Chains A and B, each alone.
Chain A
């Protein structure tokens, strides 16, 4: 198998999957080339991400990246969560093959968009 244990673990037992009806922020991103779609929801309390959830259609690493990101940002201050990028997601996943980096990019971008939309609204 070409994927790390962490990728397979999140793929098999995804964390925080599902819609969040009373979310404070959300964003949807699509990779127009490969067609992966990710929607992410955030609950924010006093400038800290209390909870994150997601739904996605994509390859196994795309689902795992969404799942791991939702865990990674829980309890993070918005300023800190804002700088979560491809490298942070890849690290949390225990690495990804080069051709799969787009999965980490999609998760990081969707998260940033959700935070930006929240800050824009305030």
Chain B
């Protein structure tokens, strides 16, 4: 077995060798600022343009609709605050309404809360059922005449569930409401065609698909209301100020191009491994609950809870065995509350604390998973021996 079995690809992925190679010249001799006029700088400009073309082609978008950012968090903040504040400016002083779901990433939920608390917007957090999938009818029901923006993630980062984005896009576009999609977990893993899906804004993050950290992009369809979050430079056609992270952007484009080219093969392989580990856990460990719909989820996402076990304890045990994974238990997030996603799908607190997320990637193999299953079986059995019979005095 390797020294490290990495099963936390939803948190971040290793940088692909091809992306690193593409980045290398821009970390060395080709260091020019793309906004300058001499040849050195124009090399960087050309690389940026090529990266933009590649990224746009991978998403079915036009190059002019791609804005480079520092990552998923900036893309989401820029999209939500940018659209809402642009609308606020259009409408004078009347803040509108924003609809999102209860299972969004905090990089969407917190900006929406900022809009409510600081700018007087109203917001609806549409609930989900046990399967962790937003019902488009619930989105439709949440819309109001003053709704300015809907934001729904393409795939959930904790339980991997895939949301009915095309159906929601149809509903919002019929009503002329701006639709933002957080596709941070979906990009590279699921087919995305912005040419045929009426999405107005879409966020991606390079390090989730084999690119470097510190780079992301936001697709902004032409004609979408816009208010730049970052000002102080004319970069990105005045929509995002700041010198571009050329090397990281070049790496991101190469990583996304490869992920899209390999997608159908990768999907098949990961789905088989995912089912293998789901079946293995069900067969070897009693008292297990699958979190989120087992089929309508990302091919690499396994999320389960073990009754009577603390998720973080399992993580520590896995780490000591050289296995990197994640949990929705409170302790891991640094807060006392367990994952809002697991609570939103109706999981009782105790089971939310007992969750384990394994997210597979390019390096994952059946041999690794056999080893992980064996370690998990032992860890869960051991944890269960600690559990007290709580007596009432």
Binding site for B on A (CB under 8 A): 1, 3, 8, 11-12, 14, 17, 19, 26, 28, 30, 33-39, 54-60, 62-63, 99-100, 102, 117
Contact = CB atoms under 8 A, between A and B. Distances in A.
B312 to A, nearest CB: 4
Contacts of B391: 26, 28, 39
Given A34-B353, A99-B331, A39 B316 contact: no
B313 A63 contact: yes
B160 interface: no
A8 to B, nearest CB: 7
Given A1-B319, A8-B320, A12-B320, A57 B389 contact: no
Given A34-B336, A99-B331, A99-B334, A55 B313 contact: no
Nearest to A18: B385
A12 B379 CA distance: 10
Contacts of B129: none
Contacts of B317: 11, 60
B236 interface: no
A35 B334 contact: no
B77 interface: no
Interface of B: 308-310, 312-313, 316-317, 319-320, 329-331, 334, 336-338, 349-350, 353, 383, 385-391, 393
Given A8-B320, A37-B390, A59 B331 contact: yes
B313 A59 contact: yes
A104 B388 CA distance: 18
B330 A34 contact: yes
Contacts of A62: 310
A38 B331 CA distance: 16
Contacts of A57: 308-310, 383, 386-388
Nearest to B330: A34
A12 B383 CA distance: 11
B306 to A, nearest CB: 11
Contacts of B320: 1, 8, 12
Given A33-B337, A34-B331, A58 B319 contact: no
Contacts of B387: 37, 55-57
Contact of B388 (A3, A37, A59): A37
